[in-house]
């Protein structure tokens, strides 16, 4: 005995689902558009340690002066010392820049366990964006090599990793 829907009812159900999906997609686009309009002119944090700008300039001059009053701090490398320093640093006092050829921290004492197969490699690696992101402050990060530092002139040169 057949207990399904008729072909006409099935096609109308498909059309209803299609219209519902379309309406949901339109609502998502509207919400995304509103959030873009709301964030215009402010820095936005993206995954991977990249900072993107939603607008070309700041609307608030007080915000600009607050950023320039901070002391500048540059951290070279994301090894043991650099990571411990970033975890304990008060980001509200410093404008922090991080330059490292790797965008992750490796917990080296567990490397022998990885070679034996006791521990998976992904369990001993922590992305730097997670370590930095826990503080909630904006930090400039470059995945690059710093090959020249002029401490007197407070200048540094970097090159990207191929």
Is residue 100 within 8 Å of 129, Cβ to Cβ? no
* Residue 139 CB burial class (10 angstroms; 0-12, 13-18, ≥19): buried
Q: Which residue has the tokens 């790797």?
A: 102
pTM attached to this predicted model: 0.52
What is the rounded distance in angstroms from the CA atom of residue 128 to the CA atom of residue 148? 23
Segment 47-90, tens digit of pLDDT: 444 444 444 444 445 555 554 688 888 899 999 999 899 888 88
Which pLDDT score is estimated for 41?
Answer: 46
What is the rounded distance in angstroms from the CA atom of residue 49 to the CA atom of residue 33? 23
Task: Look at the domain 66-160 and name its fold.
Answer: FAD/NAD(P)-binding domain (3.50.50)
Segment 103-146, tens digit of pLDDT: 889 898 999 999 999 999 899 999 888 887 777 677 888 888 88
Domain boundaries, the chain: 7-38, 66-160
Give the distance from CA 86 to its chain's centroid.
16
What is the rounded distance in angstroms from the CA atom of residue 119 to the CA atom of residue 107? 12
């Amino acid at each position: 005995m057949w207990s399904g829907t008729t072909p006409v009812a099935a096609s109308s159900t498909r059309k209803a689902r299609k219209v519902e999906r379309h309406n949901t997609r339109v609502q998502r686009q509207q919400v995304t558009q509103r959030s873009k309009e709301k964030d215009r002119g402010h820095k936005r944090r993206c995954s991977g340690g990249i900072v993107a700008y939603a607008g070309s300039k700041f609307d608030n001059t007080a915000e600009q002066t607050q950023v320039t009053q901070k002391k500048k701090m540059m951290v070279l490398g994301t090894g043991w010392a650099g990571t411990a320093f970033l975890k304990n640093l008060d980001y509200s006092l410093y404008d922090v820049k991080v330059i490292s050829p790797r965008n992750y921290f490796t917990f080296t004492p567990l490397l022998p366990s990885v070679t034996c197969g006791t521990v998976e490699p992904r369990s001993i690696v922590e992305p730097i964006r997670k370590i930095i992101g826990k503080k909630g402050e904006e930090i400039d990060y470059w995945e690059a090599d710093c090959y020249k530092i002029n401490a007197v002139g407070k200048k540094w040169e970097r090159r990207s990793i191929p």
